[in-house]
Structure 1
Amino acid sequence: MLIKVGDIVMPGDIVDEISRVKTETKCILGPGLRRYSENVIVCKSGIMRKKNPNTFWVDSHQRRYIPVRGESVVGVIVNKSVEIFKVDIGASEFASLAYTSFEGATKKNRPDVKLGDVIFAKLKVASMDMEPELECVDSRGKQAGMGVVADDGFLFSCSINVVRKILSPKCPLLKTLGREVPHEIAIGMNGKVWLKARSPRETIALMNAILAVEYISNEETIEMCAKIVKSLKRCT
């Protein structure tokens, strides 16, 4: 059976469209796809997606995060040793984060990170055969918004689908609410979101809006945002 973009796929299916891509053409395989020999095999059920020119992935509803190199994640420090921190990112095993993976950090100048701290980081290593490894610097060694987030925010979990939707340029949620409800937010591709608004009431309202956006259209999202803003103004 010929699999096309938009089709429902199952583990073991061969994606002919990707397999036919010439070897000299760069082809990026995202979550749900693996290359075996000359074929590209589906490794989880979902909907086949494509982003031009040649980026493919399987869009599926999942809560267990599968680490992908280069993705940004939100995690919690759960252990620390002489050289590394252990971070819970919601995957099947903890990720490691070296003390030197922070801007300006050295073996003598260690970052002030404690157990229970929430961090926003990027996956440096993600492989089926290796432990996930994080870093809090970009390619130039700069912080670039990563690191330990403020301890007075609120951390909650949502589905991977919600994260993909609110990060989409087409989703009006964050842009619409951001104009009326100032807030700070760190969104991890692992389904973890850290949020801080001006008050607990606003923080909870924003969290509920994020959790509700998964099953509604963009038009319904705009209507929901208007109701939230009106309700918050009435309570002030």
Structure 2
Amino acid sequence: MEETVVISGNDITEIIDEAKKSTNKKLIIGPGIIKQRDSFFATKCGVLKFRENPPVFWIDYHQKRYIPVRGERIVGIVVQKGGMSVKVDIGTNENAVLSLLAFEGATKRNKPIIQVGDLVFAQVLGVNQNSETELVCVTSKGKRNGMGVLPAEGFMIDVPINVCRRLLAPECRLLKNLGTKFKYEIAIGMNGRIWVRATSHQATTFICNTLAEIEYLNDDEIQKRTDSILDEFVV
């Protein structure tokens, strides 16, 4: 499907219905699209995109302020500590709340040690207009699955939210190519924050700079960028 530029309020039902005819799988509607009865409308200005496996439509748009969505993973900064929970800055108007029991193996007697200023990689559990956004650091099965307090040796950068979406897209080879050159850990939050830790400060800085660059590149340019990475970094 050709990429289509849309603005908020555009009716994209015909495009989505056409895609439904070509697949037997359940179609997923992603960010930037709303369904009203049997019709679909764009809620953001951007590029309408489609991925076949699994079949999903979404709008790739530039967004600075994060709007919490249940199930999304974020990188947050602990700003206040309480007896059984902490307040976390996730880039929204209001801080989110993270229970100290929402960690793998945590109990009232065995709570994780968290300090103000720590970074956490967490998942949005609940979003309510009348209460604080709730975070957890475990899956529905009680496993951490990569979430929790991030090591202090890493470095966090802020990027536009669409950069995080592009990095997490299956067709993006940038992270895999970086892995052939460096040993590194990364946590990509859908709130526009990326945490990176490599084996040296020089490598960490190079990776962060590379990730920040893709904001200004199209898909073909990103591909060329990934192919040139191995020749650029000199220890």
Q: In structure 2, how many angstroms separate the alpha carbons of the residues matched to 1:65 and 1:127? A: 15
Q: What is residue 143 of structure 1 aligned with on the other side? A: 144
Q: In structure 2, how many angstroms separate the alpha carbons of the residues matched to 1:178 and 1:138? A: 26
**Which stretches of structure 1, 4 residues or more, deviate above 6 A after TM superposition?**
none
Call closer, same or farther: CA 1:145–1:50 in 2, change over 3 Å.
same
Identity of aligned residues (%): 40
Measured after TM superposition, the shift of residue 76 of structure 1 is 0.7
Give the aligned length: 226
8 Å CA contact retained: 2:80, 2:87: yes
Bigger mean CA offset, 220-229 vs 69-78 = 220-229
3-state SS of paired residue (1:86): strand
3-state SS of paired residue (2:112): coil
Q: In structure 2, how many angstroms separate the alpha carbons of the residues matched to 1:132 and 1:10? A: 29
Measured after TM superposition, the shift of residue 140 of structure 1 is 1.2
1:34 aligns with 2:11: no
Bigger mean CA offset, 103-112 vs 129-138 = 129-138
Q: In structure 2, how many angstroms separate the alpha carbons of the residues matched to 1:82 and 1:115? A: 13
Q: What is residue 102 of structure 2 aligned with on the other side? A: 101
Q: What is residue 13 of structure 2 aligned with on the other side? A: 16
Bigger mean CA offset, 93-102 vs 76-85 = 76-85
* Structure 2 unpaired stretches of 5+: none
8 Å CA contact retained: 1:19, 1:38: no
- Amino acid aligned to 1:34: I
3-state SS of paired residue (2:132): strand
Bigger mean CA offset, 139-148 vs 78-87 = 78-87
Call closer, same or farther: CA 1:94–1:196 in 2, change over 3 Å.
same
Measured after TM superposition, the shift of residue 75 of structure 1 is 0.8
Alignment of 1:32-181 (within 5 A): 32-52=32-52, 55-126=56-127, 131-181=132-182
Q: What is residue 227 of structure 1 aligned with on the other side? A: 231
Call closer, same or farther: CA 1:167–1:38 in 2, change over 3 Å.
closer
8 Å CA contact retained: 1:195, 1:203: yes
Measured after TM superposition, the shift of residue 204 of structure 1 is 0.8
Bigger mean CA offset, 115-124 vs 30-39 = 30-39
Measured after TM superposition, the shift of residue 47 of structure 1 is 1.5
TM-score w.r.t. length of structure 1: 0.84
Q: What is residue 3 of structure 2 aligned with on the other side? A: 6
Measured after TM superposition, the shift of residue 187 of structure 1 is 1.2
